[in-house]
Amino acid sequence: MQRFLYALLGIVALAALDLSSYCHPNPAAPDLPLIAQARAAEAPLTAAPPPIDATETGTSESAAPADFRELTWAELADVDFKDVYLEELDSYYWKPEFGPQVMAAESQDVYITGYVIPVDLDEDFYVLSRYPFANCFFCGGAGPESVVDLRFKDSGHRTYQTDERLTFHGNLRLNADDVYQMNYILEGAEEHPL
């Protein structure tokens, strides 16, 4: 499992692995655009957590900054994937073609709620998933539109545990061309104040 994660994310040399079964759609599977449409119709899983009373935490921090807007997983499902052959890998991969909802969120300050998945603690590499680890993209239960790469603002954050349901904010960057990175990247990610 770890080997696949590292290969998918460019941590392990791709030349040593055959990733075609991970990158090339299964002909027996339903059409990917239909899957994305079905996911877009689902109720978003990003309801904001209830606010924490500042007297309980001993802080004076109140509501989140007003300049961040909520990004939902349903919005991120507005993407289709085109099967593209990449000669350097001698393999196919799913190249995203972002829809208008996703394009509207590009370079925006957003917050999103999901399940934290520590991919590589030594490299401080975490992703936020729409689904818990057992159902996430890495386990074959969802598509690449269901995970966001968390690029933290600083390295002083705490260590997160698998399947912690948390909200993070940052600036959304889209990636359609670099197969060594996720399609969605949250730059300057920080845990969202409640």
Answer yes or no: is 4 within a domain.
no
Answer yes or no: is 89 within a domain.
no
The 10s digit of each residue's pLDDT in 133-142 is: 888 776 777 8
The 10s digit of each residue's pLDDT in 104-119 is: 999 999 999 999 999 9
The 10s digit of each residue's pLDDT in 64-94 is: 456 899 999 999 999 999 999 888 888 888 8
Answer yes or no: is 24 within a domain.
no
Cα 111 to the center of its chain, rounded Å: 12
pLDDT at 86: 84
pLDDT at 103: 97
Answer yes or no: is 118 within a domain.
yes
Q: Is residue 104 classed exposed, middle or buried when 0-12, 13-18 and 19+ CB atoms within 10 A define those classes?
A: exposed
Answer yes or no: is 88 within a domain.
no
Answer yes or no: is 12 within a domain.
no
Entry pTM: 0.66
Collapsing DSSP to helix, strand or coil, 135 comes out as: helix
**Average pLDDT in the chain:** 74
pLDDT at 66: 65
Length of the chain: 194
pLDDT at 194: 66
The 10s digit of each residue's pLDDT in 93-104 is: 889 999 999 999
**Number of domains comprising the chain:** 1
Answer yes or no: is 185 within a domain.
yes
User: Which of 69, 65, 70, 67 lies closest to 193, judged by CA?
Assistant: 65
Query: For the domain that residue 106 is a member of, what is the CATH number?
Result: 2.40.50
Domain holding 140, by residue range, is 35-80+96-191
Say whether pLDDT at 35 is over 70: no
Rounded to an integer, what distance in angstroms lies between the CA atom of residue 11 and that of residue 6?
5
Answer yes or no: is 51 within a domain.
yes
